[in-house]
A and B are shown apart, each in its own frame.
Chain A
């Protein structure tokens, strides 16, 4: 192992070397997401800004696609990060994995360039194949869809072959099954139909079953690993709880799909299914709260990486407020009728994506930096530890501010546009011109800049944390023998 505090690839195993490549691209795409979000936000305030050059639709598309891809890259990177450690074997087919990383990255770049330069095509199938599919979140043209599937299959091969050669832990087993579902579901979005009801039915299979089911379980696996690593929680307990979480999340999440089937032409029985599973939604959160308190008694939060713990706690709160509180506020059909398709949705979406997913990927960035610098000390009294704290604070202040701005705008929209004006175009614009709405958009923009500042600080911190640190990683238990197994 190289000297402490020096960034050295020798500190990483094969999978981890590949992981940090994925993390790098993920972090850059996170920046792109923020940049294009800021541009789109500015267009709410000044509609002439970049009109006809980079229209709102283009900025918004890049904004949400960057989100999906940076989180996906973050997840893939995180899996490569823990793979050798979990399986107890070097990654099988790492060369192919490396090759695929470059192909995947180039494909993403090509898609973005086409989004920005070509933007739109004629109303023909060729546009869907080559330029953009025009379906929110899965706009990637069909050629890229196929490319994504191939890349994910290779990734899947790496994971399965490595676990098979080494050993299947509980985390490994759940991870593999979850990846099967994740990849399989993507296929549900890869077809064309003129029928918009059928289109949106399957589209929600991809979006909901990714975001509210398979991604949650993916994060459950990553969290389980991170808890073992940073808190030293025992594996048997962590894995039992992983199964409990899977049961609760899939049990409430899979048919929770029903709450997206209220208004797209699907039958009325989805009201019942959506309503029932919405009522179940808080149960996994309750489990999380009780278990976290129980654990705090058992482990007293002793840990060897403060930023990781900080972002894990942020994850718990973000998930609770973003998915829990913000979700439940407008999930019942009786009220969703007025909030569906207003600023309520992005208010909930921003907080939930950030709280449930971005936080965990950022935690893994820190886990990676710690080891990359030779397993350095990242507990109390770090040099320059104001940076991670302030970037965490700025990103949260920015996010909460944006979410509140959109909440006020959405609340007003559900009143004026929906309840009073009856959702006509006139009603839409009356609501959009209301002072509450406009002020909400201003606050959103201002806090967007705060969020961007947090990102810059996060970048600086990730590049410098642990630099010239001479203390080794904190020991979690009395015994200091290195990890075996």
Chain B
């Protein structure tokens, strides 16, 4: 027993205390980091722009200093030709996000790289060259979302099912996707080749 006393660093009570302190310390550190991160990812900050960003062109351009592509907010290019106030934009993006959740998009697609892997990532869906040109993009997206099941998507024969998305929901989803493409994701996806938006 005297051995045990000598080996304080191997005793049960020492490790019980260590476990508690390590856990508490890590958790407190996490709380502080969470507060700081929250302040940086609230909509309307540099990393996560305000919802009214959908009134502008969003691009994805290589940044020499940070060594990866970053979103760049360009000139006014209102979505569906309509300038929105901050409140209207927020409501529209929120409707889009609700649609994304209610239609279970995340169990085929990934968003910011998280989700399922049966369908393409949606992080930069707004900027994907697959939409052809910037002029037809918005309308193509809405039509596709409302009636995807009959279109040929790819050589694999994988199709998106008809999720009974209304026109309002489709437009809101496009707003959500446009806003999402403006989030600074530290260069994810890497080496992405966005749709040409220059006139």
Contact = CB atoms under 8 A, between A and B. Distances in A.
Q: Do A and B bind each other?
A: yes
Interface of A: 40, 43-44, 47-48, 51-52, 55-58, 60-61, 119-125, 127-128, 131-136, 139, 170, 174, 192-201, 203, 236, 239-240, 243-244, 246-247, 250-251, 254-255, 257, 261-268, 270-271, 273, 333, 337-338, 340-343, 345-346, 418-419, 422-426, 428-429, 432-433
A133 B101 contact: yes
Given A197-B112, A264-B185, 11 more contacts: A61-B104, A120-B164, A131-B102, A134-B102, A136-B107, A197-B41, A244-B15, A341-B115, A418-B191, A425-B120, A433-B155
14 contacts: A44-B118, A57-B104, A131-B102, A200-B112, A250-B26, A251-B26, A262-B186, A264-B185, A266-B41, A266-B47, A333-B186, A424-B129, A426-B129, A429-B155
A273 B32 CA distance: 13
Nearest to B112: A264
A196 B112 contact: yes
B29 interface: yes
B38 A198 contact: yes
B166 interface: yes
Contacts of A57: 104-105, 107-108, 116, 118, 161
A139 B128 contact: no
A136 B111 CA distance: 11
A83 to B, nearest CB: 21
Nearest to B129: A424
A247 B106 contact: no
Interface in B98-155: 98-108, 110-118, 120-121, 124-125, 128-130, 149, 153-155
B98 A273 contact: no
B97 interface: yes
A136 B114 contact: yes
B151 to A, nearest CB: 13
B156 interface: yes
B183 A124 contact: no
A400 to B, nearest CB: 20
A122 B170 CA distance: 11
Given A200-B112, A345-B117, A337 B104 contact: no
Contact of B15 (A197, A243, A255, A426): A243
Contact of A197 (B30, B165, B183, B190): B183
A212 B175 CA distance: 35
Contact of A337 (B30, B36, B190, B193): B190
Interface in B78-96: 90, 93-96
A351 to B, nearest CB: 16
B186 A47 contact: no
A124 B23 CA distance: 39
Given A251-B22, A265-B183, A424-B192, A341 B117 contact: yes
Nearest to B168: A123
A346 B153 CA distance: 24
Interface centre among B99, B116, B130, B190 (most CB of A within 10 A): B116
A128 B30 contact: no
Contacts of A419: 190-191
A284 B34 CA distance: 25
A158 B27 CA distance: 27
Main SS of the interface on chain A? helix
Contacts of A170: 12, 16
Interface residues of B, number: 88
Contacts, number: 259
A342 B120 CA distance: 10
Contacts of B72: none
Given A51-B161, A250-B23, A262-B186, A422 B12 contact: no
B41 A265 contact: yes
B68 to A, nearest CB: 8
B104 A123 contact: no
A301 to B, nearest CB: 24
Contact of B42 (A195, A243, A342, A429): A195
Contacts of A199: 97
B30 to A, nearest CB: 6
Contacts of B163: 120
Contacts of B197: none
Nearest to A131: B102
B120 A134 contact: no
Contacts of B29: 255
Interface centre among A40, A52, A58, A134 (most CB of B within 10 A): A134
Given A124-B102, A340-B113, A428 B41 contact: no
A240 B118 contact: no
Contact of B107 (A48, A61, A124): A61
Interface string B155-184: 111110111111001001100100010011
Contact of B121 (A139, A243, A251, A341): A341
Contacts of B153: 429
Contacts of B48: 195, 197, 265
B73 interface: no
A47 B149 CA distance: 12
A194 B94 contact: yes
Interface centre among A51, A125, A194 (most CB of B within 10 A): A194
Contact of B12 (A200, A236, A432): A236
A132 B163 CA distance: 14
B19 A250 contact: yes
B163 to A, nearest CB: 6
A393 B29 CA distance: 43
B37 interface: yes
B6 interface: no
A118 to B, nearest CB: 11
A389 to B, nearest CB: 34
B161 A132 contact: no
Given A131-B102, A198-B42, A255-B30, A246 B19 contact: yes
B190 A123 contact: no
Contacts of A266: 37, 40-41, 47
Nearest to A423: B189
Contacts of B169: 122-123
